Amino acid sequence: YDIILLDYRLPDGTGLDALGEIPRRGYKTPVLMITGQGDERLAVQSLQLGAVNYVVKGGDYLPTLPTVIQRAIREHQLQLSVQRSLEQIQYQALLLNNVRDAIVVWDIDGKITCWNPAAESLFGWKESERVECSIENYCRAFTPEMKVPSPDGASGQQVERQYQSKDNNAIWVSSRLSLRDNGSDRQIIGYLDFSRYITKRKQAEEKLRYRVEVEELITSISTDFINLEPDQIDQGTNHSLKDIGSYAGADGSFVVLLTEE
């Protein structure tokens, strides 16, 4: 039902008794209390128990009753809409506060509006130090620098970047920047950046790359030596040492080659 019209005087009790029982049984239908007594105390009690309005019976109350009913239904629907919006906001806030990814949100003017706890932990800056600040410093702390896409540009792409944290440590993150729209006419209202810590993975990849390069260098040198003639060994040794020095980044060092002569 859209609304319940409840008279104060009932055969087995009062409207107040029924009004208190309605929510206990799980009903959320709005209730309009109707009574022949113009008692302010009764009106207050009705509203406290959940009635959306209170109507006193009189000679001219019937013509105005439809308007009162329509207004009560609209107000109740508005209350439900506000309640759902608040619940959605609370749910989103709960997700932001408990998600493992760092989430940074800013509006179309470039002002940061959200800096969740994971962002505090990852980047080193407190929410109070970043919310309401310009997004420029955040973007510039990345290498390569984060470029905010245009409204008609590509977004949502996964990019690996380095970030200079508050304590000047360079950390690796996997970042995904997405556009925010208002959901109705798809008008852009801001941006969301999701970042995940990947420094350990990048370090492991670098160690693996270094190991592979060393193995390839050793294999190459070994193959060259196997194919050398005796009179080419000294020259081959010099060439191999240069390769090793170049790989190791040696600058200005030298090697003394001792011979029987």
- Three-class secondary structure assignment of 72-84: HHHHHHHHHHHHH
- Which of 121-135, 181-195, 214-228 comes out lowest in average pLDDT? 214-228
Residue with tokens 């693996």: 208
As a whole number, mean pLDDT of residues 249-255 equals 54
Per the model's pLDDT, the better-predicted residue between 45 and 181 turns out to be: 45
- Which of 13-17, 109-113, 219-223, 227-231 comes out lowest in average pLDDT? 227-231
Would the pLDDT of 13 be above 60? yes
Q: Where are the beta strands (DSSP E) in 182-225?
A: 188-197
Give the burial class of 235: count Cβ atoms within 10 A of its Cβ; 0-12 exposed, 13-18 middle, 19 or more buried: exposed
| Residues above pLDDT 90, as percent of the chain | 22
- How do residues 190-199 score in pLDDT, each as one tens digit? 898 999 999 9
Tokens at 224, concatenated: 């060259």
* CA dihedral sign of residues 20, 22, 28, 32: negative
Q: How many whole angstroms separate alpha carbon 74 and alpha carbon 97? A: 34
Q: What is the CA radius of gyration of the chain?
A: 37
pLDDT (0 to 100) of residue 139 = 92
pLDDT (0 to 100) of residue 174 = 93
- Sequence-distant (6+) residues with CB within 8 A of 55 are 32, 33, 34, 35, 61, 65, 68
As a whole number, mean pLDDT of residues 35-48 equals 79
Would the pLDDT of 248 be above 80? no
pLDDT (0 to 100) of residue 49 = 85
- How do residues 87-119 score in pLDDT, each as one tens digit? 776 766 666 666 788 999 999 899 999 999 999
- Give the total residue count for the chain: 261
Per the model's pLDDT, the better-predicted residue between 105 and 149 turns out to be: 105
pLDDT band of residue 149 (cuts 50, 70, 90) is: confident
